[in-house]
Amino acid sequence: MVAGGRIAEGGPAPAGEVIRTRGLTKRFRGGQLAVDGLDLAVPRGSVFGFLGPNGSGKTTTIRMLMGLIAPTDGVATVLGEPMPQAVDRVLPRVGALIEGPALYGFLSGRDNLVRFDAADPTADPRTRARRVAEALDRVGLTAAAGKRAKAYSLGMKQRLGLAAALLRPRELLVLDEPTNGLDPQGMREIRALVREVAADGTTVFLSSHLLDEIEQVCTHAAVMSRGRLVVQGTVGELAARAQGRLVVRTPDVVAAAKVLAEHGVADLRGGEGRVDGVLPEGAPVGGGSLEGSSVGGSWLDGSSVDGSSAGAEQVLAGLCGALVGAGVRVHGFGLERGTLEDAFVALTGEGFDVAG
Ligand SMILES: Nc1ncnc2c1ncn2[C@@H]1O[C@H](COP(=O)(O)OP(=O)(O)OP(=O)(O)O)[C@@H](O)[C@H]1O
């Protein structure tokens, strides 16, 4: 599919990718490898969460995507254009909020927006007041529009920054940790805004170190760890598959655990009428073997997601057959959905803040 491909007129689904990188790499002068061979694909129309612990390379990636710094190696395409080469053509189509908005504290919220709008050579001065009023309304700052920006709370400043990014219709909105430092109410406001913007058809790319934020607002996610992409896919795929635990309901707990252990199910836990455990990658099942791409850490390469569910089903069927064949009474059998947090901790071996 062509990167940045346009939606066909009247076409039902968003087509193409708004961001695509190949081998994108940034090594800073001091030798620090901040981003290491990143292959990222952000589908048009998605709310794409770029997740990773502090220092994992998110901001550096965003700065390369926006043409603020040049990559050491690799290529980045944004809205179908190469970056940073096409920065002048691409940036007018992108709203960005990176490292907090650059506001004049002594100016009112409204006058800050007037200033942003005036800095845009393509913005018609005759319709400026209307654009500014609409942007203020959109982020809920109409009542506070006359207040100096330095008197705004952090959440209000972020909303004003978003209003500035949304003064004109955008195809892509890029937000670097948009809720960082906000209280729960401020976070809710920003997340609601992100959802609204996305519902209007703008693709949103937002970085975060908060898992539940990604779960709440994003359709897709990519996980960074130490400059490398660990995984990317839809949020549903990530949560559902990376850490699903097999749950067997049975009165024969000991016998069931024995059979499951023999078939490679790990981390077995027995309880009242139930046994659960983890399907390991490559576990032998019913004489066959589990495909490497089906379950476990390595399946999420972004390309084999659909094909892998058939593999998982086969594994489950084999296990169920083995239990029944061994005389275990199976009253319930299935995979329990893991949370995104389970998935990411398993994939990165790192913990996350899950506040918010
Ligand atoms: N200008 C720079 N010079 C040298 N090293 C840098 C520079 N900018 C970032 N780094 C390093 O690159 C790595 C990635 O940083 P980056 O800011 O991209 O991570 P991040 O995931 O955005 O983290 P955070 O959430 O803390 O912003 C870190 O080790 C950081 O110290």
ipTM of the complex: 0.95
Residue nearest to atom 25 of ligand 1 (CA): 54
Please tell me the residue having the least CA distance from ligand 1 atom 17.
59
- pLDDT at residue 3 in the model: 30
Tell whether the model's pLDDT for residue 317 goes beyond 50: yes
- Which of 200, 235, 270 is at the close of a domain? 235
- CA 156 – CA 327 distance, rounded (Å): 64
Comparison of pLDDT for 355 and 98, the residue scoring more:
98
% helix, strand, coil for the chain, step of 5:
35, 25, 40
* Distance from the Cα of residue 205 to its chain's centroid: 8
Asked which of 188, 206, 235 is the last residue of a domain, the reply is: 235
- Neighbour count for residue 295 (Cβ, 10 Å): 27
Report how far residue 71's alpha carbon sits from residue 27's, in angstroms, rounded to the nearest whole number.
8
Q: Is residue 140 part of a domain?
A: yes
Q: Residue 235: pLDDT above 60?
A: yes
Average of per-residue pLDDT across 259-272: 91
The residue contributing the CA closest to ligand 1 atom 11 is: 34
Quick: pLDDT tens for 241-265: 555 678 999 999 999 999 999 999 9
CA–CA dist 141, 147 (Å, integer): 10
- Name the pLDDT band for 100 (thresholds 50, 70, 90): confident
Residue 63 confidence (pLDDT) above 70: yes
Cis preceding linkage at 284, omega within 30? no
Which atom of ligand 1 lies closest to the CA of 180? Answer: 25
pLDDT for position 315 = 82
Mean pLDDT, all residues of the chain: 81
Residues 193 and 249 in one domain: no
- Domain annotation covers residue 240: no
| Total number of residues shown for the chain | 356
Mapped onto helix, strand or coil, the DSSP state of residue 11 is: coil
295 and 229 share one domain: no
Contact by Cβ (8 Å): 246, 318: no
Structure letter (DSSP) for residue 155: H
Residue 186 has pLDDT above 80, yes or no: yes
Counting Cβ atoms within 10 Å, is residue 106 exposed (0-12), middle (13-18) or buried (19+)? exposed
Instruction: Please report where in the chains the tokens 């009247």 appear, as a residue.
Output: 10
Give 37's pLDDT tier (boundaries 50, 70, 90): very high
pLDDT value at position 295?
28
Whether 350 shows a pLDDT value over 90: the answer reads no
pLDDT at residue 314 tops 50: yes
Q: Same domain for 30 and 102?
A: yes
Residue 288 predicted with pLDDT over 50 = no
Model confidence at 49: pLDDT above 80: yes
Tell which wins on pLDDT, 72 or 30: 72
Burial string for 299-334 (b: 16+ CB within 10 Å, else e) reads bbeeeebeebeebbebbbebbbebbeeeebebeebe
Answer yes or no: do 129 and 39 share one domain: yes
Give the number of other CB atoms < 10 A from CB of residue 89: 12
pLDDT of residue 120: 86
pLDDT exceeds cutoff 70 at 342? no
Q: Is the pLDDT score of 71 beyond 70? A: yes
CA of 54 to the centre of ligand 1 (A): 8
Task: Look at residue 292 and tell me whether its pLDDT is greater than 90.
Answer: no
pLDDT band at 356 (very low <50, low <70, confident <90, very high): very low
- Mean pLDDT over 158-185 rounds to 90
Pairing of strands 228-234, 245-249: unpaired
Tell whether 9 is covered by a domain.
no
User: What pLDDT is attached to residue 289?
Assistant: 26
227 and 113 both lie in a single domain: yes
- Has residue 11 been placed in a domain? no
pLDDT of residue 18: 95
- Residue 136 sits in a domain whose CATH number is 3.40.50.300
pLDDT computed for residue 16 by the predictor: 87
Q: What mean pLDDT is predicted for residues 49-70?
A: 92
Mutate to test the pocket of ligand 1, among 25, 26, 28 (most ligand atoms within 8 A of CB): 28
**59: CA distance to ligand 1 center in Å?**
7
Percent of the chain with pLDDT over 70: 79
**Which range has the worst mean pLDDT, 27-31, 81-85, 238-242, 342-346?**
238-242
- Residue whose Cα lies nearest atom 13 of ligand 1: it is 34
Contacting residues for 272 by C-beta, under 8 A, at least 6 apart: none
Q: Are residues 176 and 36 in the same domain?
A: yes
Band of the pLDDT at 309, cuts 50, 70, 90? low
Q: 180 with 207, same domain?
A: yes
Q: How far is the CA of 60 from the centre of ligand 1 (A)?
A: 6
Q: Are residues 158 and 202 in the same domain?
A: yes
How much is the pLDDT for 236?
80
Average pLDDT over residues 101-110: 91
> Of the ranges 98-102, 125-129, 333-337, which is most confident?
125-129
- Chosen domain end from 216, 235, 254: 235
Same domain, 227 and 249: no
Domain check: are 280 and 262 in the same one? yes
Residue ranges around ligand 1 (CB below 6 Å)? 28, 30, 32, 34, 52, 54-60, 209
Residue 125 has pLDDT above 70, yes or no: yes
Q: Which domain, by its residues, includes 307? A: 245-336
Q: How many domains does the chain have?
A: 2
Does residue 272 sit in the same domain as residue 212? Answer: no
Q: From CA 111, how far away is CA 105, in angstroms rounded?
A: 10
Does 95 share its domain with 176?
yes
**Weakest mean pLDDT among 166-170, 217-221, 233-237:** 233-237
